[in-house]
Structure 1
Amino acid sequence: MRNRVGPALRERLRESADLAEVSGEPDRDLLKELRASGLLAAAVPREFGGAGSDPAEVNAIVEELATLNPSMAIIAFQHFAVSARVAEWGTRRQRETLLPRLADGGCLAASAWSETGAGAAKRHLGSTGTRRADGSWVLNGAKSFTTGASVADVYLVLVQSEEPEEGAEGVYGGSGQTFFLVGSDNPGIVPDLSLDLVGMRGSATGFVSLSECVVQDADRLGEEGRAPEIIAGVRESGATLGAVAVGAAQSAFDLALQHLRRRGLLDKPQVRHRVTELATRLEAARAIVERAGARTAPDPGLTTLHSKLHSSAAAEEICLDVARMLGSAGYTTGARLNRILADTRAVALMGPTNDVCRELVAVSWPS
């Protein structure tokens, strides 16, 4: 893999991942370095000051970050996802105002979609958006499992803006939902990091409350009530959370090699064969992520879904096999492998969750 992350930042990312496992806090100094690194420009078109990278390059950056620090990788992934949505669905004013700041690291983006009671498919939202007589909107509600809460400068917030149509529910998202771009300086949005996660502990994943949060109609992303169309189009891009899983699995594989070399076990044929099996599964997971990014399949969206399903499952299995190789050496609270395994398991729970991915794949089959 070509190194896209500079050596100094690489070391800081690795150190911070272990520290976050204990503290459960995001490394704000490291985030400043990530902002200044130029990596966050990847998903922004060149005409707006970005790198104009294709999905394959975005996935490669996310994988490299995840090999070092999955928590920072998922923060970057969400930033890339919002950047791409603004580039595709934003008004000219939104693109000209926001995209240059997303590119230079002056603005870090996060998504606030999930909430208690809405389910993994993001239907039946409790958070609402109400249009006022002057054309502005008032947002109210509470979001959970928001990656980047408290460290993001802008949130892409999903709310119910009108009554859902009967029988119009899709697999992911629901009718009458609208997206808004809400700045962290808005007094009506309040992040809360009291959520104590098992994995991704440095990802600033927490709650976001919306209380009489006033936004302008110019802050709306896409058409009113048409958020599911934006959601459905996301997977067509080829950017995939499978890249996070592959990066974490690579980190676990590297730990296995280090352990076996120290023990002088790589000379044994049976050990080499086990390691080769792990390497093959890792390469298979990487291959489907690369295929998703290349968008060469007849249905790129389906490939993106398959990439998350396969890579997250393969990564967890690789971590468990590495744990068996390490034996008692990996069975301590301070063992890095335990952190990697917890981070890997988290990928399956990130939206769209693996269960939702399975439903999205299943509905594509002809009846």
Structure 2
Amino acid sequence: MRPLLSAELRARLSEDAARSDPADVPHREALAALRTSGLLGTAVAARHGGAGGDAAAVNHVVEEIAAVDPSVAIIAFQHFAVSARIAEWGTEEQQQRWLPRMAEGSCLAASAWSETGAGAAKRNLASRGERLPDGRWRLDGAKTFTTGAGIADMYLVLVQTGRPAVTPQGYGAGGQTFFLVEAGTPGLVADLGLDLAGMRGSATGLLALDGCVVADTDRLGPAGGAASVIAGVRESGASLGAVSVGIAQAAFDLAVRHAEGHGLLKLPTVRHRLVELATRLEAARAVVARAGARTSADPGMTTLHSKLYASVAAEDICLEVARMLGSAGYREGSPIGRLLADARGIAFMGPTNDLCRDLVAAAWTR
């Protein structure tokens, strides 16, 4: 596929990824370049001003961004995921309100599902939504590991609104509901208090809901039916494995440049090591592409496999490249060190790798 990142966006993202100072959010210039790039409309239908891209297009964009700046790639992936959920479950009013703005980049979206004690499967939520006498909802609680906290213009928030009940999908529970909450709504407060080892520029932090009141028209999908919305996420074919492939590509490029710069490509052993890494990289890219194409008998299962394989492969590739670089890769703040930390982070992003394994294994016992 042809490259999608403009020279300006690539330059801004490169500067953002290469900065030496620890950061919680992307540089303002990098975020502005992403918003004006047109790429945020990849998963939005043409009738709402987007590109009408499918999961394969989303995976392609995310991989390209991740090869330059993995933190921003995660922000973009979450934005795409929210736009897809609105397209699938949103009312006509919600689609008209949000999707054109998301396509043009004036509305950056984020997901707020996780919270302390909920577990990877999001079955034990402490955050609550109470329907008020006038039909509105009051949201209370705290969400954690929210990527895009403080920089997003809208959050897809998951709360418990009814009696909890385990659902057969293995992710989420009965009685949970999604709400689209605009940044600036009273009672919604973002806090970048998390000190992550990787994805340092992804604005991943906390989101507090303290008497946050929203209209019933801000509810996405049926009340108490969030588990059905969640179940369809992996069926789309959009895969976090695309982020891993981009990270692995960046690590491989580092190894090639190092070998060229030190005259090592004339050594058969070095060439063979690079070929092995390139082969594993292409295998990861292929399984992510298969997920995006949705050509398998069970697209959801393929998406789970793609995330598992690509995330493990990326971590292994980064580690092998670090060994190849030797002392050059062992310095604090080295590019390969940052890439390795980012690669490790994908395993903990939802669904986590352990949850992916549980979901795959569950299919064998049906």
Aligned to 1:251: 250
SS of match in other structure, 1:349: coil
Map of 1:124 onto structure 2 = 124
1:344 aligns with 343
Shift of 1:50: 0.7
For residues 114 and 270 of structure 1, the distance between their equivalents in structure 2, rounded to whole angstroms, comes to 45
Within 5 Å, give how 1:16-35 maps onto structure 2.
16-19=16-19, 22-35=22-35
**Aligned residue in 2 for 1:194:** 193
One-letter code of the match for 1:74? I
Q: Shift in Å at residue 314 of structure 1?
A: 0.3
Aligned to 1:41: 41
Partner SS state of residue 313, structure 1: helix
Aligned to 1:290: 289
2:43/2:51 contact within 8 Å kept = yes
Match for residue 88 of structure 2?
A: 88
Map 1:178-217 → 2, pairs under 5 A: 178-217=177-216
- Answer yes or no: is the 8 Å Cα contact 1:42–1:80 preserved in 2: yes
The aligned residue for residue 334 of structure 1 is 333
| Separation (CA, whole Å) in 1 of partners of 2:20 and 2:100 | 30
Q: Separation in 2 of the partners of 1:340 and 1:30?
A: 18
- State the distance in 2 between where 1:67 and 1:82 align: 22
Distance 1:21 1:145, change over 3 A: farther
- Give the TM-score of the pair, scaled to structure 1: 0.98
Question: For residues 330 and 96 of structure 1, what CA distance do their matches in structure 2 show?
Answer: 49
Within 2, Cα distance between the matches of 1:226 and 1:21? 43
Counterpart for residue 66 of structure 2:
66
- 1:135 pairs with 2:132: no
In 2, Cα distance between equivalents of 1:77 and 1:20: 24
Shift of 1:366: 4.1
CA-CA distance at 1:322 after TM superposition = 0.3
Query: How far off is 1:207 after superposition?
Result: 0.2
Displacement of 1:21 after TM fit? 5.6
Partner residue, 1:309:
308
Distance (whole Å) between structure 2 residues aligned to residue 102 and residue 338 of structure 1? 33
Runs of 4+ in 1 over 2 A off after TM superposition: 20-26, 167-170
- Secondary structure of 1:179's counterpart equals strand
Q: What is the CA deviation profile of residues 262-302 of structure 1, one whole-angstrom value per residue up to 9, with x for unaligned ones?
A: 11001111111110000000000000000000000000000
2:83–2:99: 8 Å Cα contact kept in structure 1?
yes
Q: Once the two structures are superposed, what CA deviation does each residue of 1:201-250 show, in whole Å capped at 9, x if it has no partner?
A: 00000000000000000000000000010000010100000000000010
Cα distance per residue 1:152-171 (max 9 Å; x no partner): 00000000000113x54642
- Aligned partners of 1:168, 1:23: CA distance in 2, in Å? 39
Give runs of aligned pairs for residues 152-163 of structure 1, distance below 5 A: 152-163=152-163
Once residues 168 and 52 of structure 1 are traced to their aligned partners in structure 2, the CA distance between those partners, rounded to angstroms, is: 32
**Alpha-carbon distance in 2 for matches of 1:131, 1:13:** 43
Matched residue pairs, number? 366
Contact 2:20 2:333 in 1 (8 A): no
In 2, the alpha carbon distance for the partners of 1:334 and 1:366 equals 46
Kept after mapping to 1: 8 A contact 2:12/2:29: no
Q: How much has 1:2 moved relative to structure 2?
A: 1.9
Name the SS for the 1:162 alignment partner. Answer: strand
Unaligned segments of structure 2, at least 5 residues? none
Contact 1:43 1:84 (C-alpha < 8 Å) held by counterparts: yes
TM-score scaled to structure 2, two decimals? 0.98
SS in 2 for 1:23: coil
Q: Secondary structure of the residue that 1:175 maps to in structure 2?
A: strand
Q: Any conservation in 2 of the 1:21–1:201 contact (CA below 8 Å)? A: no
Gaps of 5+ in 1: none
The answer on whether the counterparts of 1:129 and 1:160 sit within 8 Å (CA) in structure 2 is yes
Contact 1:63/1:73 (<8 A) preserved: yes
Give the conservation status (yes or no) of the 8 Å contact 1:14–1:69: yes
1:310 positional shift: 0.2
Secondary structure at the residue paired with 1:197? coil
Aligned equivalent of 2:356 = 357
Deviation at 1:70, TM superposition (A): 0.3
Letter in 2 for 1:319: C
Structure 2 distance, partners of 1:101, 1:334, is: 37
Q: Secondary structure at the match of 2:264?
A: coil
Contact 2:176 2:225 in 1 (8 A): yes
Note if contact 2:139-2:159 (Cα within 8 Å) is conserved in structure 1: yes
> 1:25: Cα distance to partner?
3.3
Matched with 1:108 is 108
Q: Secondary structure at the match of 1:83?
A: helix
- Return the alpha-carbon distance in structure 1 between the equivalents of residues 202 and 28 of structure 2: 11
The answer to whether the Cα contact below 8 Å between 1:169 and 1:175 also exists between their aligned partners in 2 is no
Partners of 1:333 and 1:290 in 2: CA distance: 34
Deviations 1:4-54 (A, max 9, x none): 000121011011012276334332231111101100000101111110001
* Residues 124/170 of structure 1: CA separation in 2 closer, same or farther (3 Å cut): farther
1:191 alignment partner AA: A
Q: Report the RMSD for the aligned CA atoms in angstroms.
A: 1.1
Q: What is the CA distance between 1:3 and its match in structure 2?
A: 1.1
Relative to 1, partners in 2 of residues 1:177 and 1:20: Cα closer, same or farther, differing over 3 Å? farther
